[in-house]
Structure 1
């Protein structure tokens, strides 16, 4: 199937009992067994649920993978990947990444003896030089949150394979519509399904997709044993969201391009971070590994004034000031005090995330209305 057809039909079959075209919501905690150990493939809802099973099949198909696993949040999915490791193992991670991931790494897993090494992953040589005999995992975001840095997945996948370690790519910003890391050599793809996969700001969920059967069994054991699983209603909502992913992403990309270029030409706007600009340092790599540049971007005002940035954040009428991204509605965000507040200020500044940086999640409204809203807010 071509991508649009696959997205609509992935994981879904008419219900055999009723013919319902949409996957039913199996709101049950357990399943009646014919005899001890003899069942219809479902024993207990933490381990299996038919609605979740359909979603996991859909996740695998749209990421061109063999196996999908759904979790109660994106952080829970990330947590499961790190639980593959042992005390003394090392992880190479991007110095610019989502604050919640950084918090999980530094405040939770460092206490258990796992070491995290942060490098600029836009240069694969930095990753290669950081690898030691203890490196078991490379963790990438591309594009990164919120500075839109791009890493070469294929080049880093080659480095990971040579070193004998896993590569996991957080594909939340791109979505499966724009990028498929497994096709580029990644071992695991992670999503905060809350974002573009759900697409309507009404569900919290995470996902992992992989090809390797043994890796799937290890991650499924963690999913089942640790219990961070989504409920059937949430699985239904993400299944529904996936069906319009291609339509929404097309509009996110169109609006994103218009707004990024408008911001760049605004006399009061300084730097605009969007990977679709031809002079973006990662443009060549992004063009090669992505099918579009998306609707995520960040910008700074020309005078880098935090008070003025705060005034902009509080003045929009259509852009809602809120955490999260990827919904049909446009959001505006202040990373330093919201999504990335858990990262120490000195480290944020060193990585280029200033106190005045503003992040946009451009929605699917009319682009002219969004531009007018930014115009009145920036002044």
Structure 2
């Protein structure tokens, strides 16, 4: 059985690349195809010495820095990948990878991190980042994104089985594509992120510093709680602005080594999480350290955190709602059991990902009755 793994563009080792890493581990003889590969040399270990084949996006001017600006060309790019010699195609898709061309007799399994977010949920953010805020160029871009939505829905017909990374994404797949999916949580390195019973007084979060992560909300909330200390790890285009806006009790650490990240997670009083994420691997890592969470009660966090057992939710994306949740956490007299919090996180281990993914893979490739499963979204 010849297997191909197809992934969107990549600029580093992040959540979707962790899935690719484990697909390579499960199918070491598979061939790799990326829409574009701009992964730095220091982060390429997850490829196990492999060099993915890429599309023409790789060679476009300034693509390394502005690859997302070429999104309108990516449907054409992914359709140039010749997969005619393969029995099974595994696409790891948060944008266009699921749109590869397949033929009768091939099985296409799509691990969907999200439907094409830049054409659906994040259209306005994409337009701002690309500098398309007014005039004819904005109107043209909106027209292209409309085309991308049509293309995105049309290409679902080539997928035999959708695998969603959370129940939140499974619901989004049903809403956007009209298809059912199997939920297989992404892999979390629970062997590296280990339990610590020693908790200190600071609160902690780790995030890429971009608008949808809602770091500004955290700054505003902790400005109203001057007696609490918040540490924020992570880099991104908004780092300088957040450092300028941060109150004295909030410290932005920038990018930190993985060992420091683990230590900060292990000893935090609570991990604070304000974004509405597709899943939220960093939140699961913190739970693997036995650290309770205070998180916005939407998105993948609902799959990770068990309310009142491993953390608390705040229901509105507002500083007041977050402050109230911090108060509830500090007023809790029963305390938190770090061992129970970690046991909950073991559901997301690498071993669990392997067994659950292989079960879905076998259902799609070995049982004729489930070929083209959910094609009508029943």
The reply to whether TM is greater than 0.5 is no
- Structure with greater helix percent: 2
Structure number with greater CO (CA < 8 Å, separation at least 6) is 1
